[in-house]
Amino acid sequence: RVKNFEIAGGAADGAFCGQYAFDDSDVYKVIEGAAYSLQVQPDTALENYVDRLVQKIAAAQEPDGYLYTWRSIYDREKAAGTVKEPTLGQFHRGSDTRWQRVDQHSHELYNMGHLYEAAVAYFQATGKRALLDVALKNADLVDKTFGWGKLEKATGHQEIEIGLVKLYQVTGEKRYLDLAQFFLDVRGYGDIYMQNHQKAKDQREIAGHAVRACYMYAAMTDVTALKGTEEYMPALNAIWDDVVGNKMYVTGGIGSSGSNEGFSEAYDLPNYSAYCETCASIAFVLWNQRMFQLTGHAQYIDVLEKTLYNALNAGLALSGDRFFYPNPLESRENVERSPWFACACCPSNVARFFPSIPGYIYAKRGNELYVNLFASSETTVQNVNSQLQLVNVNIAQQTNYPWDGKVAIRVEPEKPNTFTLKLRIPGWAQGDAVPLDLYSFPKHDDSKIFLFVNGKAQPVVIRNGYAIIEKKWKKGDLVELALPMPVRQVFANSKVEADADRLALQRGPLLYCLEGKDQPDSRVLNIMVDGLEEVS
């Protein structure tokens, strides 16, 4: 992938390396992951390596800002009369001219979206503008080319919409946000696989390719939040309910069908042929995070947590160097993690996602400080609006979660001040396996949730999924939370035929997995459980 930039930039000779025109995006995703890592752990060697990559990327950019190595290399070969047709499979190759197949499978704009995300992340981590300048030059070309009264085409693989939003957030240039909305609103003339079958605002069911869908709905949520518009809300709410209520696996994985790497009918959730692409889990987490940021409701973090711990996490081996692309829920010794894939979207997506997890733990809005995920961590939340003053708040967690439900949180403002701490109380700790009724516990567990402030027991008052603590905070304040973690049976809705007479076992946020490689024989496929509790 790196060599393609060298060839496009004139530093090396040869034809395009690889099978897919979207391979550029893998380099961008790795840079984005490196940027998140550098934010929490400076690493001179890593930063120097990224700087060298940025130089190669900049050299590959064409004078007007266009950047797509397959296209640049193909044009050069075509001009020299050395091109061999087809250089890539028709489905994944580029096109004879720029933008010709941009609303199909050329992935030009998809690559550029990942470029924008990487550029913003690296600028925020290091203050270096070289990659950001490349991204802005490219975005200006896209803005000049696409829009109402210009080239009115949708994206074949949604992603640039998210990247444009990030460019707007870092530059304040509203035209990037407007362009993101254009790419959403221009849809409605094409294939359901790409969510182009209806206007984005009119869609009510999730369908088609899972990664494309969740990237698009994440961007719709961004635009809704930043523009204050309500036009996408009926679609976002209905589609989220459709996923969580009808089409999500008990692990939080999405996209049951391998034929379209996406969705089929409601309740069609086979276990053996489950696709559950790792990239789809990442995309679903991205969308849920944005829905929380838009609404402040914990149900989105509940689903995010389920997906993170059980579907997304499974895509990476404990060794850190082997990966799942699909993540079936049942196998017969026919599934094993791989060190790489020709289509490497999942390993590179994992590489950018895991270093970003620190950004999911805490949040703030006005005088409210949220604790969303439980993990040993420490940070300073800046500019909490306290008694009309802006104060920085140091917050630190000590916990063995998810193996233990005990969480100790130190809350220390730079000076004593009054604000609201909101601790997420997971739905599973309140008796709900998931929001809506696709999965459920057979009975409500009577275990209690305990909350202490400076050793004194507090009533657990829950609103929108959060325990609310409002007080004048001072240095040394300690909040302790104890969540019950009995092992619970989980049953699927009776409409899920694949799960008839089956159950899952869950403790805290974790689903149990009977991993065949850990068992002495194949009896793992025939385990019976005595004394099943009927769902009331």
Kind plus residue range of the DSSP H or E element containing 8: helix 2-8
Q: List the one residue out of 67, 44, 71, 64 whose CA is nearest residue 56.
A: 67
DSSP codes, 26-90: HHHHHHHHHHHHHHHS--HHHHHHHHHHHHHHHHHS-TTS---HHHHHHHHHHHHT---S-SS-T
Token pair for 357 = 């997890």
DSSP codes, 322-379: -B-SS--S--SS----BS--SS-HHHHHHHHHGGGTHHHHEEEETTEEEE-S--SEEE
**Counting every residue, how long is the chain?**
536
End-to-end CA distance of the chain: 55
Count Cα atoms within 13 angstroms, Cβ side, for 256.
Answer: 22
User: Looking at the DSSP assignment, which residues form a beta bridge with residue 316?
Assistant: 323
Using CA atoms, how far apart are residues 249 and 244, in angstroms rounded to an integer?
9
Taking the mean position of all CA atoms in its chain, how far away is CA 21?
A: 23
Rg over alpha carbons for the chain, rounded to the nearest Å, is 24
β-strand pairing of 439-440 with 466-473: unpaired
User: Looking at the DSSP assignment, which residues form a beta bridge with residue 151?
Assistant: 146
* Residue 308 DSSP symbol: I
DSSP codes, 459-492: ---EETTEEEEEEEE-TTEEEEEE----EEEEEE
> The tokens 């692409």 sit on which residue?
277
Angle between helices 160-171 and 130-145 (to 10 degrees): 120
- Residue 206 has a CB neighbour count (10 Å cut-off) of 25
Amino acid sitting at position 506: Q
Write out the catalytic residue numbers: 261, 345
Amino acid sitting at position 133: D
Helical residues (DSSP H) of 93-129, grouped into ranges: 108-126
Using CA atoms, how far apart are residues 337 and 519, in angstroms rounded to an integer?
17
DSSP codes, 252-321: S-B--BTTTTB--STT---STT----HHHHHHHHHHHHHHHHHH--THHHHHHHHHIIIIIGGGB-TTSS
- Residues 315, 278: contact at Cβ < 8 Å? yes
- Residues 222, 201: contact at Cβ < 8 Å? no
Amino acid sitting at position 360: Y
